[in-house]
Every structure is written in C-alpha cells, then in structure tokens.
C-alpha cells in the first residue's frame, strides 16, 4: 500500500532512539499517522514541527498498519508562529480541533481551510476571525453545522442577527426581538453576504461565544472533554493584545 499527499503537521511523538511518529491532517487521506525514521535528526527536526506543511509518501504492507512516511518540506511556517504567544496558542487550538476528526476520514475542504488559518495565525488582524470560521467548519464536518442562511421563524434571509441555542439556526431581528436575552448574537462576518466584511473585536468575541457554546454542547461535553486550554490561552493573548 502506498500513496502521496500534502499534509499539515499536527503532532509528533518520539519513537525509539532516532525516529518519530508524525501525525498529519492531509488533503486526501484525512488525519493520518506514520513513522518517520531518523525524524529526530538535525536535518529533519526543523521540518517536523507542528504547523509546517509537508508532502509525504506513505508506505505500508497493509492499509491498517501504521506505515512509514518519507517527508519533503512545503511551507515551514512553525518558526514564524513561535514568535508570538497568540499565534502559538492558536496553533495549539488548531491542531486540537483537527484531532476531533476521525482518523483516515478525508475532509478536503477542511484541509484547505486549516492551511489558510495556519498561514495567518501570526496576523493579529485576521487570525481571530479565521479561527472562528474554522470552529464553525469543524462543527459542520462533525455533523453539527449551524444553519445561518435564513430565519428559523420566518424563512427570511435579511437582517439575521441572532442564533438560537436550541436549534443552531439563525433568527431575524424582528422574530428574535422578544427573546433577545436568550439568543446568541450572530456577527455579520459569519453570514454569506457579510463574509468579506472586516469584523470588529466585538464581532469576533460574539463569534467565539457562539462556536464555543455549540462545540461544548455538541462535541466536547458529549466526548467527556473540557474546552481546550489552548483556546482559552489564545483568547487571553488576544485580549492582552487588544488592551
């Protein structure tokens, strides 16, 4: 068995004296691990860092074996991301989100999204909104996508400013007004027609509140998990940057 694919490094574990087990999120083969012989060498160590993108060839006798990777560097962004605390915490959160996806289950669109997020984690302007969108994409890929296209009560597509915590559907201004205190704010940058808008810090906070609630209610809590420390650390670093 063998294949070649591009992947984003999301984890590394030592194996024996000189090797590592590399965990990738790949374009066509999903979250996949493999042995890299000599992976702890000075030559390979700079390449085999979380956040870097690589091209790998995977080989194994049988499809369900761990197999082995040979690795070529594509985008060595990890060193750059380590220079800012927020970027480093954001990377930790990104890798944790991708581990929520079942092993060897391909999610090509999610891979492309993760690559874009990884490229911008050190950009304090765009990284927060991109991470919100990644959380939203993770919910969708896990089967818990939010329906933000039309009002749950009226079916209208205009003036959507709320989200119901029960249904995960958008709610319009008029229909939601009597229940505003019980609804989440829907920031404009998460709506298709506002996708190119520049979100304000308040919009980003509202986005994280929205996705965090549904990730906890539908993913982390049912799996016996707590909201990840990396997420809290990223939000704290973000708040510090904005202070």
pLDDT in tens, 62-86: 988 999 999 999 999 999 999 999 9
- Residue 240: pLDDT band by 50, 70, 90 thresholds? confident
Residue whose tokens read 């954001």: 90
The answer to whether residue 228 scores a pLDDT higher than 80 is: yes
pLDDT at 198: 82
Domains of the chain in sequence order: 2-76 (2.40.50.140), 81-148+186-242 (1.20.1440)
Helix, strand and coil percent figures for the chain, each rounded to 5: 40, 25, 35
pTM (predicted TM-score):
0.94
Mean pLDDT, the chain, as a whole number? 95
Cα distance between the two ends of the chain:
53
Identify the DSSP state of 156. Answer: -
Question: Residue 67: left if φ>0, alpha if ψ -120 to 50, beta else—which one?
Answer: left
Structure tokens at 142: 């896990």
How is residue 103 written in tokens? 């092993």
> Distance between CA atoms of 52 and 197, rounded to whole angstroms?
29
């Amino acid at each position: 068995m063998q294949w070649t694919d591009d992947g984003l490094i999301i984890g590394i574990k030592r194996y024996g004296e000189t090797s590592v087990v590399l965990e990738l999120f790949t374009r066509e083969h999903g979250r996949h691990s493999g042995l890299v012989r000599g992976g702890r060498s000075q030559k390979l160590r700079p390449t085999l860092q979380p956040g870097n993108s690589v091209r790998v060839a995977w080989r194994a006798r049988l499809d369900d074996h761990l197999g082995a990777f040979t690795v070529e560097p594509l985008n060595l962004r990890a060193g750059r991301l380590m220079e800012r605390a927020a970027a480093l915490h954001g990377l930790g959160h990104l890798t944790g989100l991708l581990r929520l996806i079942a092993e060897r289950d391909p999610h090509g669109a999610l891979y492309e999204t993760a690559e874009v997020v990884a490229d911008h984690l050190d950009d304090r302007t765009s990284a927060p909104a991109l991470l919100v969108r990644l959380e939203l994409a993770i919910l969708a890929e896990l089967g818990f996508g939010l329906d933000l296209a039309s009002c749950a009560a009226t079916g209208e597509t205009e003036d959507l400013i709320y989200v119901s915590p029960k249904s995960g559907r958008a709610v319009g201004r008029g229909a939601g007004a009597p229940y505003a205190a019980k609804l989440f704010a829907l920031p404009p940058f998460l709506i298709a027609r506002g996708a190119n808008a520049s979100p304000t810090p308040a919009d980003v906070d509202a986005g994280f509140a929205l996705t965090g609630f549904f990730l906890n209610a539908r993913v982390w809590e049912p799996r016996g998990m707590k909201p990840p420390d990396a997420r809290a650390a990223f939000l704290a670093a973000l708040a510090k940057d904005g202070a």
